[in-house]
Amino acid sequence: MPQTDAEYWSAKQVELERDQLGTVQKAAASWTTLFGAILGVFGTVAFAGGLTAVDKLSESLQLPVKIMTLVAAALALTATILAGLASSPFPRTTNDTTWQGLQTRSGNRATAALTQLRAALGFGIATAVLVIVGSAGVLIAGEASPGLKVPTVLVTLDDGSVCGKLAGAGPGPTVEGRSLERATSVTVVPACPG
């Protein structure tokens, strides 16, 4: 005998009521996987890479960005743990083995799991916001502009050689007070010899 629509949907309603915990746990398991993947990628990029992009920022921006990175990592870890607890809680023992006790425990666990999953989603969203804001800050601020570095040069003149910082006083460039007008070669060096 074929089922009527009312019978079919009544059976679905009973199934949903009885499997609320299973529904929440399946959703939480999916979110746990996602948060775990995000945390893995985040850890690889932020820590294995040595935060090289952050180290290139100006000193005034480095500390706030590093703090944001640590907070984002903590939030992502918290989201992963909460979603994991929602999908698979710690086992517990009970002396109440009646169907009514099982029904009550299942309902209570579904409520607790949903609360944990909502908290995990909140922490996950906060993580995403921090990562986006921090990344945008790094991109917008860019690398710290290095100050103009005056090169050290070794200059060969017709009457000897001189080494020192290039200067621009007088009518033309000089090194150690000597004009470079008669220089036969100018070589940039990391430091003067001896």
> What pLDDT score was predicted for residue 48?
47
Return per-residue pLDDT of the chain as tens, 194 residues.
678 888 888 887 888 777 878 888 888 877 777 777 666 666 655 554 455 566 677 777 778 878 888 888 888 889 888 888 888 877 777 788 787 888 888 888 888 888 998 998 899 888 878 877 777 777 776 655 555 567 788 888 888 888 988 776 556 678 888 887 777 778 888 888 87
pTM for the full model? 0.57
Query: What is the pLDDT at residue 115?
Result: 92
- List the beta strands (DSSP E) in the chain: 152-157, 160-167, 174-175, 178-179, 183-189
**DSSP characters over 34-84:** HHHHHHHHHHIIIIITTTHHHHTS-HHHHHHHHHHHHHHHHHHHHHHHHHH
Q: In this structure, how many other beta carbons lie within 10 angstroms of the beta carbon of residue 41?
A: 11
Query: Comparing C-alpha atoms, which of 151, 190, 146 is closest to residue 56?
Result: 146
pLDDT of residue 119: 93
Q: How far apart are CA 178 and CA 172, in angstroms?
A: 10
